[in-house]
Amino acid sequence: MKGVIFNAVEEAVVNLYSEDVWDDLLDAAGVSGQYTSLGNYDDSELIALVLAAVEMTGIDANELIKVLGRHSFPHLAGRYPELVEGSAGTHDFLRRVNDIIHPEVLKLHPDATPPEFLFEDRDDNTLRLTYKSARKLGILAQGLIYGAADRFGEEIDIEVVSGLGEEVTVFDIRVAALVPGS
């Protein structure tokens, strides 16, 4: 997994907790923590960090990955500000992640394996997103989708239609309402 994902998770932990908590997590997970955005690191390091965080906080692993995904979004989005700003909202942006951002990641780093999404409009407010990846990180995707909605000031509801924790996960993402004041 690319270092940028570790950098984003680090930023999430520091914002939610503190630098000290991140250092404690690195120690507990037995990993170096020297993640450069372009480097490639074993997925097992990410898993070790999550398990250490579960141990430390007592929060359920799935819930924690979702929260970390949500708060990792700003770091990732900061790398493509023009695409974020040019998007009409969460649904539109998710299509750009699949059609532009992840393919670009792949072009720059042929060793990366970002997930693939399929889309289907269910109704005016609901987009069905099918996540596909051998990494089985649909729960991280769910957190990132919440993070995207936060960025666009949209209140969304995500229904897991099938397959959470599997290679193919289907989500129905319904945009409920604009968050007042945004």
Task: Write out the residues near ligand HEM by the rule CB under 6 A.
Answer: 1-2, 4-5, 76-77, 79-80, 94, 97, 101-102, 105, 112-115, 133, 135, 137, 140-141, 144-145, 148
Shortest Cβ 43–ligand HEM spacing (Å): 8
Shortest Cβ 88–ligand HEM spacing (Å): 15
Q: β-strands 116-123, 126-132: how paired? A: antiparallel
Of 19 and 86, nearer to ligand HEM (C-beta) is 86
Q: Which token pair is 82?
A: 């023009």
Contact in structure between 35 and 9 (CB atoms under 8 Å):
no
The helices-and-strands tally (H runs, E runs) of the chain is 8, 4
Sign of CA dihedral 173, 175, 176, 179: positive
Shortest Cβ 75–ligand HEM spacing (Å): 9
Q: What is the DSSP letter of 98?
A: I
Shortest Cβ 141–ligand HEM spacing (Å): 4
Of 22 and 152, nearer to ligand HEM (C-beta) is 152
